[in-house]
Amino acid sequence: MSTVKVLNMAGAEVGTVELNDAIFGIEPNESVVHEVVKNHLANCRQGTQSALTRAEVSGGGKKPWRQKGTGHARQGSTRAPQWTHGGIVFAPKPRSYSYVLNKKVRRLALKSVLSAKAAEDRIIVVDSIRMDAIKTKAFKGFLDAVKCDGKAVVITPEVDQTIVRSARNIPGVSTTTARLLNVYDIVNAKYLVIDQNALAAIEEVYA
């Protein structure tokens, strides 16, 4: 098991904690991570695109000229796809892009990204993440104190609105709970800032 320092919110070391190798010590599976990220992005799509086919464009009911004898190519409607203002061939319509991946695949991807972050020494464990008031400046000071100098995901045991609202205005910083970890958010972040109780919950849920 790998060992990481436990810091307080002032950035001082107050102990160490061992990371469970079943979650933080596996060989990352990049292809599975790619599949899960692709699935997440597909599930996020609105799918509201829409265009009109030749049947739906207004007009075009009359044959523009007679079939034979004009020298023009024969035409049946001014709303055929080759015409300006004509309909779209195979026009996109609103649809859902979401699909389901197996639970084991999603779990392997999560363990892979957590293991990759642990191998890169990008996991910061804090003994207790607490805020007495909603203060973005104070929360930014906490991140600076623990040497978190990039995009970060702050993981707490439960939803804490004080922390959520303190962090939401800081660019590149997002908050989540131990039971709602997201592979895409972890891949997209440089650091994971984890409450020690949240770390225990992660090891309990995913080990």
Q: Summarize pLDDT for 62-114 with one digit per residue, the tens.
A: 999 999 999 999 999 999 999 999 999 999 999 999 999 999 999 999 999 99
147 and 175 together in one domain: yes
128 and 178 together in one domain: yes
E-strand ranges in the chain read: 2-7, 13-19, 123-126, 152-156, 173-177, 191-195
105 and 66 together in one domain: no
135 and 161 together in one domain: yes
Residue 207 scores a pLDDT above 90 = no
Domain that holds residue 105: 2-45+101-206
151 and 185 together in one domain: yes
56 and 15 together in one domain: no
88 and 23 together in one domain: no
Q: pLDDT at position 48, please?
A: 96
Q: 24-28, 172-176, 203-207: lowest mean pLDDT where? A: 203-207
Residue 13 scores a pLDDT above 90 = no
Return the DSSP state at 88: P
Give how far Cα 1 sits from Cα of 19, 81, 111, 126, 179, Å: 6, 64, 15, 19, 22
Q: pLDDT at position 2, please?
A: 81
Asked if 88 and 51 count as a contact pair (C-beta separation under 8 A), the reply is yes
Query: From CA 13, how far away is CA 19, in angstroms rounded?
Result: 17
112 and 186 together in one domain: yes
Residue 39 scores a pLDDT above 90 = yes
126 and 31 together in one domain: yes
Query: From CA 20, how far away is CA 15, in angstroms rounded?
Result: 17
Query: From CA 185, how far away is CA 42, in angstroms rounded?
Result: 15
First vs last C-alpha separation in the chain: 13
Query: From CA 89, how far away is CA 56, in angstroms rounded?
Result: 11
39 and 89 together in one domain: no
127 and 167 together in one domain: yes
Last residue of a domain, one of 61, 93, 125: 93
**pLDDT tens profile 129-165:** 999 999 999 999 999 999 998 899 999 999 989 999 9
Give how far Cα 173 sits from Cα of 88, 116, 154, 191, 198, Å: 42, 19, 7, 10, 17
Strands 2-7 and 13-19: antiparallel
What total of structural domains would you count in the chain? Answer: 2
Average pLDDT score over the chain: 93
80 and 155 together in one domain: no
pTM: 0.86
Of how many residues is the chain composed?
207
Exposed / middle / buried, residue 173 (Cβ in 10 Å: 0-12, 13-18, 19+) = buried
| Domain containing residue 145: CATH number | 3.40.1370.10
